[in-house]
Amino acid sequence: MADKNKPSPEDTDGEALGAQKPIEAQVVAQFIKDLSFENPSVGKLLEGPSDTPNIKLEINVGAKRLQPELFESAIDFKAVASSKDGTIYDLEIVYAGLFRLKNIPEQALEPFLLINCPTLIFPFLRRIVADITREGGFPPLLLDPIDFAQLFVRRKQELASVSGKPN
């Protein structure tokens, strides 16, 4: 026979006793924060194709708190295509998302903002990069998926080795 004086799990607003509320994450907006595309060697390109270009890519992520539950996570992307004749194109873009996060433990906040959030907005950045390079007169630059978790771990290891402290 059940004790009628003890609260059942359903009596605690859907929460099990001692359990935390589930993390809530909402993409509020995503946008181009900064964009630059330079084509400094257009005259040389008109002369005809040169050798196969060398493309150097740089990707960084950053995040900041804007309000108690509102955060910005941004991907800073740079691609420079060059050949023996010089720079073919230089593309720089910062693509960001605004995220409303609730019930997230403080120790999970940084990894969430630097791994999960960039993973959500990366497909949109990928499309913009392909469109910009194509509209610049070049074959579209199609980016492979990025493992933001690996980037996060590598960055933590680099910071730990510089500071001499373990993670």
Q: What is the mean pLDDT of residues 157-161?
A: 87
For residue 166, what are its two tokens?
A: 């373990």
Cut 0.85: pTM above it: no
For the chain, the structural domain boundaries read: 22-143
pLDDT for the residue numbered 1: 47
pLDDT for the residue numbered 4: 52
Q: What percent of the chain has pLDDT over 70?
A: 81
Strands (DSSP E) contained in the chain are 24-38, 54-67, 70-83, 86-102
62 within 8 A of 8, measured Cβ to Cβ? no
22/9: higher pLDDT: 22
38 within 8 A of 90, measured Cβ to Cβ? yes
* Residue 49: band (very low, low, confident or very high) from pLDDT cuts 50, 70, 90: low
Q: What is the mean pLDDT of residues 63-82?
A: 96
What is the CATH architecture of 22-143?
Answer: Roll (3.10)
